[in-house]
Structure 1
Amino acid sequence: MAEELPLVGVSFEAGRGLEQVLDWIGRSLTKTVLVQVSTNLLSIRPVLEGLQALPTVPLAEELVYGQAPQRTSYLSAAQVEMAIAQQLVELENAGKALDPSQVAALEHGLGQRVALIQGPPGTGKTFIGVMLSQAIVHHSQETILCVCYTNHALDQFLEALLDKGIKDIVRIGGGSKSSRLAPYNVWELSEEEDRTMSSARRYGTLQELVSADLKHIRDLELKLAALQPPVQHFVRGTEKGGKPDKSGWVETTFG
């Protein structure tokens, strides 16, 4: 996608017009690369603009330049072997097993930065994905972003994670039909956080009021304590003791 939108748009009717123009471009503009795109660019324009704004493209070596996948940085080779061994033992205890292609998919998914796992329906893609997520959660501190083509597929995947005891989940999007995932929906969690924050704010306000009252009480105690030592008073000379001055007042001490 161009950095700036074009000023002139050209459309072709049925016929050889487009073919002739592309042929001319291919022969005349030797530094031009033509890429056929079958997707509506308007639908993916925000994604492309987001990629343009990135200082670097993540995983560019594999996704852009086609280099061999690098190893993951968050799992060592020993951790990958341990995670796979634990998964296989867990399956064996449940009376299940992986075929060689599934084991290879598990190894690639845990050991490489980029892994493509494909297969027809029923070959265990979701099953392997859940195993990969479980291993990453248990053997690293990484956060996993799971993106599915449909809401139903995402619900199935997240429910499988719940079955594995992974409950630190946030479900984004309003298309979920799963009642099990309702407590994990981002809107439900945000409302719960708002309720918690409101309670915390009320508690904080009460704490401030209590602290202010305690300070006022301490100030009063200090003032009362200051009145306890003997205090000099001036009383009328008619009071017992003391010699009146010219004004008729006598200095005396009470204590």
Structure 2
Amino acid sequence: MKEVNSFVHCDSISFTYPEGEHPIFSDFTADLPGGFVSLVGPNGIGKSTLMLLAAGRLFPQKGHIFLLGRDTRTFQDEEERNRYASFIYQNMEFETEEPLESLLETVYAGGFHPLKGEDFYQEVLSVFELTHLRERPLARLSKGEMQRALLAFAALYGSRSIFMDEPVFAMEDRQKEKALEFFRSYHERTGITIYLSLHELDLTKKYAKTVLLFKKNQTIEIGRPLEILTPQNLEEAYGVPAAMLKQKEYLDRTKLKEEAELWGEHKG
């Protein structure tokens, strides 16, 4: 096990998707902190890929990546990997007809959570508004309901770290706020590190303790939201005037919402 003080250590990693023409990372080295961390930056710049690599869901073609001091290539099996890291993707789908409550209880019983207890279990159901959905088959949940269920699974399982790619998309604004408030408190109570990517800069500013702002040429600015999300930094990252980013955020959210609605129609 490598002796590193960072939460994630990237040691000269290179990664290109099989269908990709250009590398996402090339000989990239960085030390990334733990905490309640929001990843911000334009689409396609590597936010999701970095989380997948850090969580051991992908592996670099060159170099090594360490999570909590452990080389992600050395996890013995899926259970050990999941003990170190959970990962919530966008658009995860499940075909099981098993009731949601049964799955929640199975995840909770088989997890590693430091907050074991009936009060915490009920808190999770309440925060993610799942109490009235307990008897519904998972495959029959709407997109927003499915997203809330996935967040509940992650909270109940209790991996040493949680990575979430656009975790609150397809959710109502108040539900987004509740979810992010819960996970910030969850981090504070357990010490579990949470990495999440968000389109909404306002939510990052309000809830994140640390920001990773992805810029071109594999540059990542790291710090507190108000220190990092300055107009100059945002313009450098997104390539547009900072005043236009609110409109860009709106367009991104609208696209995600439309995709969620189409998904719901398909499921129906």
TM-score of the aligned structures, taking structure 2 as reference length = 0.31
Higher fraction of strand:
2
What is the TM-score with the length of structure 1 in the denominator? 0.32
* Bigger relative CO (Cα 8 Å, ≥ 6 apart): 2
Give 1 or 2: higher helix fraction: 1
Instruction: Give the number of the structure whose alpha-carbon radius of gyration is greater.
Output: 1
